[in-house]
Amino acid sequence: MANQKLKIGIVGGTGYTGVELLRLLAMHSNAELTAITSRGEAGLPVADMFPSLRGFVDLAFADPATADLSSCDVVFFATPHGVAMSQAQALLKANVKIIDLAADFRLQDAAVFEKWYKLPHSCPDVLNMAVYGIPELNREQIKTAKVIGNPGCYPTTVILGLAPLLEAGLIDFSAPIIADAKSGVSGAGRKAEVANLFAESSDNMKAYGVSGHRHHPEILAQLTHLAGANIDFIFIPHLIPMIRGMLSTIYVKLTDVGQATDLQALYEKRYLNEQFVDVLAAGNMPETRSVRGSNQLRIALQKQADTGYLTVVAVQDNLVKGAAGQAIQNMNIMFGLDEYSGLQVLPLLP
Amino acid sequence: MANQKLKIGIVGGTGYTGVELLRLLAMHSNAELTAITSRGEAGLPVADMFPSLRGFVDLAFADPATADLSSCDVVFFATPHGVAMSQAQALLKANVKIIDLAADFRLQDAAVFEKWYKLPHSCPDVLNMAVYGIPELNREQIKTAKVIGNPGCYPTTVILGLAPLLEAGLIDFSAPIIADAKSGVSGAGRKAEVANLFAESSDNMKAYGVSGHRHHPEILAQLTHLAGANIDFIFIPHLIPMIRGMLSTIYVKLTDVGQATDLQALYEKRYLNEQFVDVLAAGNMPETRSVRGSNQLRIALQKQADTGYLTVVAVQDNLVKGAAGQAIQNMNIMFGLDEYSGLQVLPLLP
Amino acid sequence: MANQKLKIGIVGGTGYTGVELLRLLAMHSNAELTAITSRGEAGLPVADMFPSLRGFVDLAFADPATADLSSCDVVFFATPHGVAMSQAQALLKANVKIIDLAADFRLQDAAVFEKWYKLPHSCPDVLNMAVYGIPELNREQIKTAKVIGNPGCYPTTVILGLAPLLEAGLIDFSAPIIADAKSGVSGAGRKAEVANLFAESSDNMKAYGVSGHRHHPEILAQLTHLAGANIDFIFIPHLIPMIRGMLSTIYVKLTDVGQATDLQALYEKRYLNEQFVDVLAAGNMPETRSVRGSNQLRIALQKQADTGYLTVVAVQDNLVKGAAGQAIQNMNIMFGLDEYSGLQVLPLLP
Amino acid sequence: MANQKLKIGIVGGTGYTGVELLRLLAMHSNAELTAITSRGEAGLPVADMFPSLRGFVDLAFADPATADLSSCDVVFFATPHGVAMSQAQALLKANVKIIDLAADFRLQDAAVFEKWYKLPHSCPDVLNMAVYGIPELNREQIKTAKVIGNPGCYPTTVILGLAPLLEAGLIDFSAPIIADAKSGVSGAGRKAEVANLFAESSDNMKAYGVSGHRHHPEILAQLTHLAGANIDFIFIPHLIPMIRGMLSTIYVKLTDVGQATDLQALYEKRYLNEQFVDVLAAGNMPETRSVRGSNQLRIALQKQADTGYLTVVAVQDNLVKGAAGQAIQNMNIMFGLDEYSGLQVLPLLP
């Protein structure tokens, strides 16, 4: 497999997850980008829009109507919600695998999808066969998956931050799980909106989506699945004046057994063989810059002794482990490549 | 009183709370700065260190050993912890009032002070007469106080964020109160430390002090006092790449009565006559920049319907309502001035 | 005049110069805001768009079609280019004075205006009577002006940075004057454009407008006027990742007399009585933050000994001395108020 | 050579050029880091200081007194000025090549070095054999060099920005060459200094070193060498609130032949085979983020038609092409490796 060159298509390459896919795939020795589409920018060389790619990416954006995606091995959708499901069946018929970075295949329950995304789900049968693409939990299913719902950025931090506790049954669900999450502004996408202007969002922060954020049902579904029980979940995201980076601070009530357990050891053991999940030594806290530009997710734990609570802090680059990097990790697994191929890029610090 | 000119001294004016006192006092029509001391910078014109003050502040830093503070009406301490208590008794004898922006007079329990600040408290009798300077709660005592322990920045947001609930007895203490707080980097002070360099803290964030922060006991003492009961309290501060600004996201479990109460109306009524506390209309969330440079603190509420929890979000400028502005507000009250005098400065936006 | 309350209208208050006018006028004891218009936001309370104004500004945006501006004493135009000239004659007939913060009345030569702004000038007669509103040069004409063309942000720094040299005839025009200028992102306005998103312009800088910027002819016209001679002028602006602030580094060749002159003394004398222009002591360089939020402009000089050149560095807040502050300074002069009224706000540092 | 593993030592690895060397060398397939020293941090695992390196760098800092550098193939000095020259002769005797990222071997004239660095030069004979490590100009000498003086960050932009003009003799030296340069704060190093705190340097900019900066003589020496003539050179650096990135705007007077020449074609031809120097198409201007984290330097040209001047804009990442990346490029050349080995990392955008 070492010399295999996957033929790769990207639908919708003008946003931040698109350009991040391009950056990472250009350094991937088993990837050959064959098509990248954009309705609005057809004909424009990709490197004219993103000069950082000059010398590395020679393609121009193709018209979605005429681009030949059916000869690809895999197509990434870096599009608004609803696009992937409209093209999924045709691609699957052509034996093309799909990795959707939007939400079309994240929520197994189509009714929940429709409630939160205000769209009818056009292909529930494809949804049924889709795998939620978080390799540290679903690696076996990903190996044989034809369609991946690539997780949202916030969900990745919360789910991986809590998986060891949930798998071991150490959370007391009589209290809600609370995730206070913070994201850099790139998470809002490359859209021309006043609220995300530099002069608006620099030297400033705020909570948003407090009355309901689309990642709430996504996280809740996964936590419920891991817990095997109904849980209460509170999720408050915040916008932070940094380009990349996400930090989730998670508060859970431990069971009596949980309080007596060596949780540091539990986490270290759970993630021992996961190259992209790093449990910090006790007493350390992660900074978002320690993962900038890389596919690492770092976790730290702090018991709140008097209260029976545990605080979990998880950081990642929202565009890498939270989006494009995890998508490539999924691709690697789907095609039997080394899972780390193309993702051995070190964080940029300072 | 309108033409009264208070003689004001500042001990330790080279940090951020010092320069912020200078900025605000220079616009205060009843204030006359008569002395500002600095051990290290004696002789240096203040405006040479802070060119923003050129044309507004003519004084030079004075040697603490020779500065005549005893003829002041009031002395602000913008110093490291431990300095104010070493000079308090002499100033009080000279009939000078004291407002300490450090922690010497914040914690009524000297043992708690000593545990967290690693210093013996040198004047417990002065501590006994000190008033915790949060005007919206303690206005009457402040009017006659001779010594003010000016609140910490984080405590101001959490205490004012929860006071209406605690006064009305609407929090269910079977679950801990959780405050997930975020601060701009100026909160770390004007000290030469690698961790606070631009190249370290820009485009980056982190939790810190998770195993114990000095504002935990300060907040806990005030909340306990307001609750009239023992409570559990979890406090996790985070460092955010902005100069000024603080946002605390507070999670509390409501009692059954609390869940049935119109909390928006409760908060609006509680702070109706407080010019510096602003309760946003339901559905809005505050941004830190909406208070940048001003003494405003803004609060918003969001019920987490399914869980019985309430989320309170409070923002302030950590150097103004969180430090120098509140100190001047206390001064105004102590001397019978209009409480808003010198503090009518609008937030700087953008 | 001390108790005079000018009735003030603002046309187009939803941009950054608009909100800055509001901030400063709210602190101006002789100003009464009577109308503020916005085509798109009519009916919306101003403080709903700019929460920083909550408690200070009670007005709602008015429909331009119905707003009564004719009863104002003065109307500020914080609009795109071309709006002020379309309304100028009607307002002048109603005896309302006009201060245009756009370019309609900056360029005396209508042909130059039309070349750079791609608009025919609709009222050249009003243009003829307009005064270029830079008080330190044109104070006498401003006193009696009915229409002010408020200077562009870059021009203010370059013109005031060079005026003493030009007035004294100390520049050798055999070499071009070069202004390498740097601006914070707020200078690009409050428009939804991808290029000005936080994720695009943070941690980044660039030159722009290098093949021709509209402030080039404006500066050139004023320098030529001051020089009384034709000059060559090179102007390269740059976009800097800060909200506010502008710094212009100006390179000029000195005449032999200029090289022999005590230029520091020349500048200090020239601006001795100008409260808003501050010449730093020799050897100091200004930072933009030293003027953040204030109407100050600070200047420093450095001779380049071996070359016969002088470097002038000038900083200002682009939204204050570079826009709204200077507009209010002009208003004060036009109405015989204290020139400093409402502008005694100190810079915000840090 | 493809499987050669160079043994590499780094002296002084706790600064930003040190950690950048580590980041890049960890991705270099022909590099094996064998020792990294730090006087102050001996014994500390490198990844404890720089968590971004967790999982990639296993070494601990070694005591300089005991570290075995003499078995290395090459030693990088990422130290303060003066350290490399104190150890150079011993290493050379042990047949170890040296790449100094400080200034010890940049200035061929020891007297100039001593004037600007206030240090006597302790090994002028080593200085005589040192090569100025700018591969695009000195590739042949670098191939056989034993000691490299790695260029300063500013000099790299100015020298490569002007080399095609100087080589072709198209600059009119009757006017000074002016370089107005802008650098991110990481250029100031990882030193605890108040001026470089986030709260001091964020949302702020300034000129510095205007009365004389150490890179002035370094640039002047190289420009003079390329020009074969005496020239006047003015250099004003500025500090910009971004972590990485450097942009130099260079103003030169063209000869008559220069004005008539197709300079765009000249530059494109000159750098056609240089993978790390990218000449943008006419009409485009480079952003610093287009090179963030990469070894690219991008150049754009703009004729100032009426004046006979040309403006050259050059951007680079000050820590990569301006320091560690160029050092590795030099190493690759010295050891006959592919010049691009380990440097094929794409810029991080956004």
Q: Does D269 touch chain B (CB under 8 A)?
A: no
* D72 a catalytic residue: no
pLDDT digits (tens, 9 = 90+) for C85-101: 999 999 999 999 999 99
CA distance B15 to chain D (A): 11
pLDDT at C285 > cutoff 80: yes
Give the residue-averaged pLDDT of D132-144.
98
β-strands C246-253, C309-316 pairing: antiparallel
pLDDT at C68 > cutoff 70: yes
- Residue D31 forms beta bridges with which residues? D6
pLDDT digits (tens, 9 = 90+) for D190-228: 999 999 999 999 999 999 999 899 999 999 999 999 999
Mark yes or no for CB contact B290/C52 under 8 Å: yes
Are the C-beta atoms of residues C8 and C76 closer than 8 Å to each other?
yes
Mark yes or no for CB contact D292/A348 under 8 Å: yes
pLDDT digits (tens, 9 = 90+) for A92-135: 999 999 999 999 999 999 999 999 999 999 999 999 999 999 99
Residues in chain C closer than 8 A to D306 (CB atoms): 232
Half-sphere exposure of B99 (CA within 13 A, CB side): 32
Are the C-beta atoms of residues B190 and B80 closer than 8 Å to each other?
no
- Dihedral, C125, C130, C132, C136 alpha carbons, nearest 10: 150
What's the pLDDT at B4?
Answer: 79
Chain A residues 238-257 with CB within 8 Å of chain C:
241-243
pLDDT digits (tens, 9 = 90+) for D235-264: 999 999 999 999 999 999 999 999 999 999
Mark yes or no for CB contact D242/C203 under 8 Å: yes
Cβ atoms < 10 Å from Cβ of A194: 15
Average pLDDT, chain D: 96
Are the C-beta atoms of residues A220 and A274 closer than 8 Å to each other?
no
Chain D residues 142-161 with CB within 8 Å of chain C:
none
Q: For chain B, how long is the longest CA-to-CA vector?
A: 63
Show which residues of A are catalytic: 153
- Residue B132 forms beta bridges with which residues? B149
Cβ atoms < 10 Å from Cβ of A87: 20
Mark yes or no for CB contact A186/C203 under 8 Å: no
What's the pLDDT at C306?
Answer: 84
Residues in chain C closer than 8 A to D241 (CB atoms): 240-242
Give the residue-averaged pLDDT of C295-308.
94
pLDDT digits (tens, 9 = 90+) for D59-73: 999 999 889 999 999
Which chain A residue has its CA at the smallest distance from D345's CA? A27
Give the residue-averaged pLDDT of C20-29.
96
Q: Does B308 touch chain C (CB under 8 A)?
A: no
Burial of residue B46, with CB atoms counted within 10 A of its CB: 0-12 exposed, 13-18 middle, 19 or more buried: buried
What's the pLDDT at C305?
Answer: 79
Which chain C residue has its CA at the smallest distance from D289's CA? C204
Are the C-beta atoms of residues C321 and C327 closer than 8 Å to each other?
no
Residues in chain D closer than 8 A to A17 (CB atoms): none
pLDDT at D161 > cutoff 90: yes
pLDDT at D1 > cutoff 80: no
The whole-angstrom separation of Cα A94 and Cα C188 is 48
The whole-angstrom separation of Cα B316 and Cα B295 is 7
pLDDT at A157 > cutoff 80: yes
Domains of chain C plus CATH, in order, are 6-129 (3.40.50.720), 154-318 (3.30.360.10)
CA distance C89 to chain D (A): 38
What's the pLDDT at D147?
Answer: 98
- Closest Cβ opposite residue C182 in set D178, D200, D205: D205
Buried b (16+ CB within 10 A) or exposed e, A48-83: ebbbbbbbbbebbbbebeebebeebbbbbbbbebbb
The pair of structure tokens assigned to D223 is 């420009």
Whether omega for the bond prior to residue D217 falls within 30 degrees of 0, making it cis, is no
Which pLDDT band, with edges at 50, 70 and 90, does C336 fall under?
Answer: very high
Q: Does D287 touch chain A (CB under 8 A)?
A: yes
Q: Does A287 touch chain D (CB under 8 A)?
A: yes
Q: Does D29 touch chain A (CB under 8 A)?
A: no
> Between C and D, how many CB-CB pairs are < 8 A?
132
- Closest Cβ opposite residue D199 in set B16, B194, B203: B16
The whole-angstrom separation of Cα C186 and Cα C242 is 8
More confident residue, A66 or B255: B255
What's the pLDDT at B225?
Answer: 97
- Closest Cβ opposite residue C27 in set B53, B280, B346: B346
pLDDT at A3 > cutoff 80: no
- Closest Cβ opposite residue A349 in set D52, D203, D280: D52
CA distance B55 to chain A (A): 27
Which pLDDT band, with edges at 50, 70 and 90, does C139 fall under?
Answer: very high
Q: For chain A, how long is the longest CA-to-CA vector?
A: 63
Which residues lie closer than 8 Å to B221 by C-beta, 6 or more apart? B107, B108, B109, B112
Catalytic residue among D21, D153, D314, D315: D153
Q: Which chains touch C (3 or more CB pairs under 8 A)?
A: A, B, D
The whole-angstrom separation of Cα B78 and Cα D277 is 52
**Helical ranges in chain B per DSSP H:** 16-26, 46-49, 83-93, 110-117, 124-129, 135-143, 153-167, 198-201, 215-227, 256-260, 263-270, 325-334
Show which residues of C are catalytic: 153
Q: In what order do the strands lie in the sheet with D246-253?
A: D206-207, D233-240, D177-184, D246-253, D309-316, D297-304, D277-279
- In 3D space, the residue among A136, A164, A143, A180 whose CA is nearest the CA of residue A277 turns out to be A136
The pair of structure tokens assigned to B278 is 């602003």
Which chain C residue has its CA at the smallest distance from A184's CA? C199
What's the pLDDT at C3?
Answer: 67
Are the C-beta atoms of residues A98 and A146 closer than 8 Å to each other?
yes
What's the pLDDT at A131?
Answer: 98
Residues in chain D closer than 8 A to C350 (CB atoms): 199-200
pLDDT digits (tens, 9 = 90+) for A299-321: 999 999 789 999 999 999 999 99
Are the C-beta atoms of residues A105 and A147 closer than 8 Å to each other?
yes
pLDDT digits (tens, 9 = 90+) for C44-63: 999 999 999 999 999 999 99
Which pLDDT band, with edges at 50, 70 and 90, does D4 fall under?
Answer: confident
Show which residues of B are catalytic: 153
Task: Report how far apart the first and last C-alpha atoms of chain D are (Å, whole number).
Answer: 36
Are the C-beta atoms of residues A328 and A24 closer than 8 Å to each other?
yes
CA distance B161 to chain A (A): 15
The whole-angstrom separation of Cα C251 and Cα C240 is 20
Evaluate if pTM is beyond 0.95: yes
C-alpha distance from residue B53 to each of B192, C204, D110, D166 (Å): 22, 30, 44, 47
CA distance B26 to chain A (A): 25
C-alpha distance from residue B126 to each of A2, B12, B73, B92 (Å): 76, 21, 18, 9
Best of D194, D201, D210 to mutate (most C CBs within 10 Å, chain C): D210
**Chain-centre distance of CA D182, in angstroms?**
15
pLDDT digits (tens, 9 = 90+) for C214-264: 999 999 999 999 999 999 999 999 999 999 999 999 999 999 999 999 999
* pLDDT by 10-residue block (mean), chain B, 350 residues: 83 95 96 94 95 95 93 97 96 98 96 95 96 98 98 98 98 98 97 97 97 95 97 98 98 97 98 98 97 98 93 98 98 97 96
What's the pLDDT at D2?
Answer: 52
Q: Does D283 touch chain A (CB under 8 A)?
A: no
Are the C-beta atoms of residues C296 and C276 closer than 8 Å to each other?
yes
Cβ atoms < 10 Å from Cβ of B94: 13
The whole-angstrom separation of Cα B332 and Cα B6 is 10
Q: What is the ipTM of this complex?
A: 0.97
The whole-angstrom separation of Cα A46 and Cα A26 is 13
- Closest Cβ opposite residue A347 in set D52, D202, D291: D52
Q: Which chains touch D (3 or more CB pairs under 8 A)?
A: A, B, C
